[in-house]
Amino acid sequence: MSLELNDVTLTHPDGDGVVTALDRVSVRVAPGELAAVVGPSGSGKSSLLAVAATLIRPDSGRVAVGGVETLGLRPRELSELRLGRVGIVFQQPNLIGSLTAVEQLVVTDHMRGRPAREARVRSMETLAAVGLSGKEHRRPHQLSGGERQRVNIARALAGRPSVLLVDEPTAALDHERGGRIMELLVEATGTFDVATLLVTHDTEYLDAADRVLEMRDGRLRVLAADRPGGL
Ligand SMILES: Nc1ncnc2c1ncn2[C@@H]1O[C@H](COP(=O)(O)OP(=O)(O)OP(=O)(O)O)[C@@H](O)[C@H]1O
Protein backbone atom coordinates (compact mmCIF):
# COMPACT_ATOMS: atom_id res chain seq x y z
CA MET A 1 0.00 0.00 0.00
CA SER A 2 1.24 3.42 -0.90
CA LEU A 3 2.21 6.67 0.75
CA GLU A 4 0.30 9.67 -0.53
CA LEU A 5 0.66 13.36 0.24
CA ASN A 6 -1.79 15.65 -1.43
CA ASP A 7 -1.36 19.42 -1.58
CA VAL A 8 0.34 19.50 1.80
CA THR A 9 1.36 22.84 3.32
CA LEU A 10 3.23 23.13 6.61
CA THR A 11 4.37 26.32 8.29
CA HIS A 12 6.49 26.80 11.40
CA PRO A 13 6.38 29.90 13.60
CA ASP A 14 9.36 32.17 12.91
CA GLY A 15 9.62 35.26 15.09
CA ASP A 16 6.56 37.37 14.39
CA GLY A 17 5.88 35.54 11.14
CA VAL A 18 5.96 32.00 9.77
CA VAL A 19 8.30 30.02 7.58
CA THR A 20 6.74 27.76 4.96
CA ALA A 21 8.52 24.40 5.30
CA LEU A 22 6.24 22.56 2.82
CA ASP A 23 4.52 24.49 0.08
CA ARG A 24 1.63 22.59 -1.52
CA VAL A 25 3.57 19.34 -1.75
CA SER A 26 2.02 16.35 -3.53
CA VAL A 27 3.73 13.01 -3.91
CA ARG A 28 2.69 9.37 -4.20
CA VAL A 29 5.09 6.53 -3.57
CA ALA A 30 3.87 3.11 -4.72
CA PRO A 31 4.57 -0.21 -2.98
CA GLY A 32 7.94 -1.54 -4.11
CA GLU A 33 9.10 1.90 -5.19
CA LEU A 34 11.97 3.93 -3.74
CA ALA A 35 11.68 7.70 -4.16
CA ALA A 36 14.65 9.80 -3.11
CA VAL A 37 14.33 13.46 -2.16
CA VAL A 38 17.38 15.70 -2.39
CA GLY A 39 17.70 19.34 -1.54
CA PRO A 40 19.82 21.82 0.36
CA SER A 41 19.77 22.25 4.11
CA GLY A 42 16.60 23.98 5.26
CA SER A 43 14.66 23.12 2.09
CA GLY A 44 12.03 21.08 3.97
CA LYS A 45 13.25 17.47 3.76
CA SER A 46 12.93 16.73 7.48
CA SER A 47 9.53 18.39 7.54
CA LEU A 48 8.46 16.13 4.68
CA LEU A 49 9.50 13.02 6.59
CA ALA A 50 7.85 14.20 9.80
CA VAL A 51 4.55 14.83 8.00
CA ALA A 52 4.76 11.49 6.14
CA ALA A 53 5.43 9.76 9.48
CA THR A 54 2.31 11.51 10.87
CA LEU A 55 4.47 13.00 13.62
CA ILE A 56 3.48 16.52 12.54
CA ARG A 57 0.04 17.46 11.27
CA PRO A 58 0.21 19.78 8.26
CA ASP A 59 -1.67 23.11 8.14
CA SER A 60 -3.56 21.83 5.12
CA GLY A 61 -3.61 18.99 2.64
CA ARG A 62 -4.05 15.23 2.98
CA VAL A 63 -1.74 12.44 4.05
CA ALA A 64 -2.62 8.79 3.47
CA VAL A 65 -0.35 6.10 4.90
CA GLY A 66 -0.71 2.53 3.70
CA GLY A 67 -4.18 3.31 2.38
CA VAL A 68 -5.35 4.99 5.58
CA GLU A 69 -6.42 8.63 5.39
CA THR A 70 -4.91 10.35 8.44
CA LEU A 71 -6.95 13.54 8.45
CA GLY A 72 -9.22 13.49 11.48
CA LEU A 73 -7.50 10.60 13.25
CA ARG A 74 -6.96 11.05 16.99
CA PRO A 75 -3.41 10.98 18.45
CA ARG A 76 -3.92 7.45 19.75
CA GLU A 77 -5.13 6.24 16.35
CA LEU A 78 -2.16 7.93 14.70
CA SER A 79 0.26 6.24 17.02
CA GLU A 80 -1.33 2.84 16.28
CA LEU A 81 -1.07 3.58 12.57
CA ARG A 82 2.62 4.46 12.97
CA LEU A 83 3.36 1.34 14.96
CA GLY A 84 1.60 -0.90 12.44
CA ARG A 85 2.37 0.68 9.08
CA VAL A 86 5.38 2.98 9.27
CA GLY A 87 9.03 2.02 9.54
CA ILE A 88 11.55 4.79 10.17
CA VAL A 89 15.29 4.56 9.57
CA PHE A 90 17.08 7.35 11.39
CA GLN A 91 20.48 8.61 10.35
CA GLN A 92 22.17 7.21 13.46
CA PRO A 93 21.27 3.59 14.21
CA ASN A 94 20.51 4.29 17.92
CA LEU A 95 20.81 0.62 18.77
CA ILE A 96 20.63 -0.51 22.39
CA GLY A 97 24.19 -1.41 23.46
CA SER A 98 23.28 -4.41 25.60
CA LEU A 99 20.99 -6.13 23.07
CA THR A 100 21.97 -8.50 20.27
CA ALA A 101 20.92 -7.77 16.69
CA VAL A 102 17.93 -10.09 16.87
CA GLU A 103 16.86 -8.73 20.25
CA GLN A 104 16.80 -5.17 18.85
CA LEU A 105 14.13 -6.33 16.41
CA VAL A 106 12.23 -8.59 18.80
CA VAL A 107 11.78 -5.76 21.32
CA THR A 108 10.07 -3.49 18.79
CA ASP A 109 8.01 -6.26 17.23
CA HIS A 110 6.90 -7.41 20.67
CA MET A 111 5.76 -3.82 21.39
CA ARG A 112 3.32 -4.24 18.51
CA GLY A 113 1.73 -7.07 20.44
CA ARG A 114 3.32 -9.92 18.51
CA PRO A 115 4.01 -12.96 20.72
CA ALA A 116 7.71 -13.19 21.58
CA ARG A 117 8.24 -16.52 19.81
CA GLU A 118 6.70 -15.29 16.55
CA ALA A 119 8.55 -12.00 16.82
CA ARG A 120 11.79 -13.95 17.11
CA VAL A 121 11.15 -16.04 14.00
CA ARG A 122 10.19 -13.00 11.97
CA SER A 123 13.17 -11.02 13.27
CA MET A 124 15.58 -13.79 12.19
CA GLU A 125 13.99 -13.76 8.71
CA THR A 126 14.33 -9.98 8.50
CA LEU A 127 17.99 -10.05 9.50
CA ALA A 128 18.64 -12.72 6.86
CA ALA A 129 16.96 -10.50 4.26
CA VAL A 130 19.39 -7.67 5.00
CA GLY A 131 22.43 -9.95 4.79
CA LEU A 132 23.08 -10.48 8.48
CA SER A 133 22.70 -14.27 8.71
CA GLY A 134 25.19 -15.60 11.23
CA LYS A 135 25.46 -12.24 12.99
CA GLU A 136 22.08 -12.30 14.74
CA HIS A 137 23.59 -12.73 18.19
CA ARG A 138 26.18 -9.98 17.99
CA ARG A 139 25.87 -6.83 20.03
CA PRO A 140 26.32 -3.41 18.37
CA HIS A 141 30.01 -3.09 19.33
CA GLN A 142 30.70 -6.45 17.63
CA LEU A 143 29.31 -5.17 14.31
CA SER A 144 30.81 -2.76 11.75
CA GLY A 145 29.22 0.65 11.03
CA GLY A 146 27.63 -0.72 7.85
CA GLU A 147 26.28 -3.76 9.72
CA ARG A 148 24.80 -1.55 12.45
CA GLN A 149 23.04 0.42 9.74
CA ARG A 150 21.70 -2.91 8.38
CA VAL A 151 20.28 -3.76 11.81
CA ASN A 152 18.74 -0.29 11.87
CA ILE A 153 17.05 -0.96 8.51
CA ALA A 154 15.97 -4.46 9.57
CA ARG A 155 14.43 -3.05 12.75
CA ALA A 156 12.37 -0.61 10.70
CA LEU A 157 11.18 -3.50 8.52
CA ALA A 158 10.56 -5.95 11.37
CA GLY A 159 6.88 -5.04 11.67
CA ARG A 160 6.37 -5.37 7.88
CA PRO A 161 5.33 -1.72 7.40
CA SER A 162 3.61 -0.38 4.27
CA VAL A 163 5.78 2.72 4.29
CA LEU A 164 9.50 3.06 4.97
CA LEU A 165 10.86 6.53 5.74
CA VAL A 166 14.62 6.96 5.60
CA ASP A 167 16.61 9.94 6.84
CA GLU A 168 20.13 10.42 5.42
CA PRO A 169 21.11 6.72 5.52
CA THR A 170 24.57 7.16 4.03
CA ALA A 171 25.70 10.26 5.91
CA ALA A 172 27.86 8.43 8.43
CA LEU A 173 29.38 5.93 5.96
CA ASP A 174 32.25 5.98 3.46
CA HIS A 175 31.60 5.76 -0.28
CA GLU A 176 31.66 1.98 -0.64
CA ARG A 177 29.55 1.26 2.44
CA GLY A 178 27.14 4.05 1.51
CA GLY A 179 26.67 2.50 -1.94
CA ARG A 180 25.95 -0.91 -0.40
CA ILE A 181 23.41 0.51 2.03
CA MET A 182 21.64 2.25 -0.84
CA GLU A 183 21.58 -1.03 -2.82
CA LEU A 184 20.20 -2.79 0.23
CA LEU A 185 17.41 -0.23 0.59
CA VAL A 186 16.44 -0.68 -3.06
CA GLU A 187 16.44 -4.46 -2.67
CA ALA A 188 14.51 -4.39 0.63
CA THR A 189 11.94 -2.05 -0.93
CA GLY A 190 11.23 -4.76 -3.51
CA THR A 191 11.45 -7.75 -1.14
CA PHE A 192 9.12 -6.21 1.44
CA ASP A 193 6.97 -4.41 -1.17
CA VAL A 194 7.18 -1.26 0.88
CA ALA A 195 6.74 2.37 -0.32
CA THR A 196 10.10 3.94 0.51
CA LEU A 197 10.68 7.68 0.81
CA LEU A 198 14.29 8.60 1.44
CA VAL A 199 15.76 12.05 2.05
CA THR A 200 19.43 12.76 1.53
CA HIS A 201 22.05 15.42 0.94
CA ASP A 202 24.10 12.86 -0.91
CA THR A 203 23.63 13.03 -4.67
CA GLU A 204 26.13 10.20 -5.17
CA TYR A 205 23.90 7.14 -5.01
CA LEU A 206 20.76 8.47 -6.63
CA ASP A 207 21.00 6.25 -9.73
CA ALA A 208 19.68 3.39 -7.61
CA ALA A 209 16.40 5.21 -6.85
CA ASP A 210 13.27 4.67 -8.96
CA ARG A 211 12.57 8.36 -8.78
CA VAL A 212 14.52 11.42 -7.68
CA LEU A 213 12.70 14.49 -6.44
CA GLU A 214 14.18 17.81 -5.48
CA MET A 215 13.04 19.93 -2.59
CA ARG A 216 13.67 23.67 -2.79
CA ASP A 217 12.14 26.22 -0.48
CA GLY A 218 9.42 23.76 0.49
CA ARG A 219 8.46 22.89 -3.08
CA LEU A 220 8.92 19.47 -4.61
CA ARG A 221 9.71 18.73 -8.25
CA VAL A 222 10.80 15.65 -10.22
CA LEU A 223 14.47 15.51 -11.19
CA ALA A 224 14.57 12.02 -12.69
CA ALA A 225 12.27 9.04 -12.98
CA ASP A 226 12.70 5.48 -14.28
CA ARG A 227 9.07 5.42 -15.27
CA PRO A 228 7.17 8.27 -16.86
CA GLY A 229 4.73 10.03 -14.58
CA GLY A 230 4.56 12.99 -12.27
CA LEU A 231 4.89 13.40 -8.56
N1 LIG B 1 10.33 23.35 14.63
C2 LIG B 1 10.58 24.36 13.80
N3 LIG B 1 10.33 25.65 14.16
C4 LIG B 1 10.57 26.67 13.32
N5 LIG B 1 11.08 26.53 12.08
C6 LIG B 1 11.37 25.28 11.66
C7 LIG B 1 11.15 24.13 12.50
N8 LIG B 1 11.52 23.03 11.82
C9 LIG B 1 11.96 23.46 10.61
N10 LIG B 1 11.87 24.81 10.51
C11 LIG B 1 12.21 25.63 9.32
O12 LIG B 1 11.51 25.05 8.21
C13 LIG B 1 12.33 25.06 7.03
C14 LIG B 1 12.51 23.63 6.55
O15 LIG B 1 13.30 22.91 7.51
P16 LIG B 1 13.65 21.35 7.41
O17 LIG B 1 14.36 20.98 8.68
O18 LIG B 1 12.43 20.60 7.07
O19 LIG B 1 14.68 21.31 6.18
P20 LIG B 1 15.76 20.21 5.78
O21 LIG B 1 15.81 20.22 4.29
O22 LIG B 1 15.44 18.94 6.44
O23 LIG B 1 17.12 20.74 6.37
P24 LIG B 1 18.34 19.89 6.94
O25 LIG B 1 18.86 19.10 5.80
O26 LIG B 1 19.29 20.95 7.42
O27 LIG B 1 17.81 19.04 8.06
C28 LIG B 1 13.63 25.76 7.44
O29 LIG B 1 13.50 27.12 7.09
C30 LIG B 1 13.69 25.57 8.94
O31 LIG B 1 14.43 26.62 9.53
In 3D space, the residue among 94, 26, 22, 87 whose CA is nearest the CA of residue 57 turns out to be: 22
| Ligand 1 probe mutation, 8, 10, 11, 12, most atoms within 8 A of CB | 12
Q: How far is the CA of 44 from the centre of ligand 1 (A)?
A: 6
> 60: CA distance to ligand 1 center in Å?
18
Name all domains of the chain by residue range, CATH numbers in brackets.
Answer: 3-225 (3.40.50.300)
Rounded to the nearest angstrom, the distance between the alpha carbon of 166 and the centre of ligand 1 is 17
- The protein residue with its alpha carbon nearest to ligand 1, atom 29, reads 42
> Could you give phi then psi for residue 128, rounded to 5 degrees?
-60, -40
Name the residue with the closest Cα to ligand 1, atom 1.
12
Atom 28 of ligand 1, residue of closest alpha carbon: 42
**Can you list the positions of beta strands (E) in 74-177?**
86-89, 163-167
Per-residue pLDDT in tens (0 to 9) along the chain, 231 residues:
799 999 999 999 999 999 999 999 999 999 999 999 999 889 999 999 999 999 999 999 999 999 899 988 999 999 999 988 999 998 888 899 999 999 999 988 877 888 888 889 999 999 999 999 999 999 999 999 889 999 999 999 998 999 999 998 888 778 888 888 899 999 999 999 999 999 998 888 888 899 999 999 999 988 766 655 556
Q: pTM for the whole thing?
A: 0.92
Question: What is the predicted pLDDT for the residue at 207?
Answer: 86
Instruction: Answer for the pair 147, 180: CB distance below 8 angstroms, yes or no.
Output: no
- How many Å lie between the centroid of ligand 1 and the Cα of residue 13? 11
Which amino acids bring their CB within 6 angstroms of ligand 1? 12, 14, 19, 21, 39, 41-47
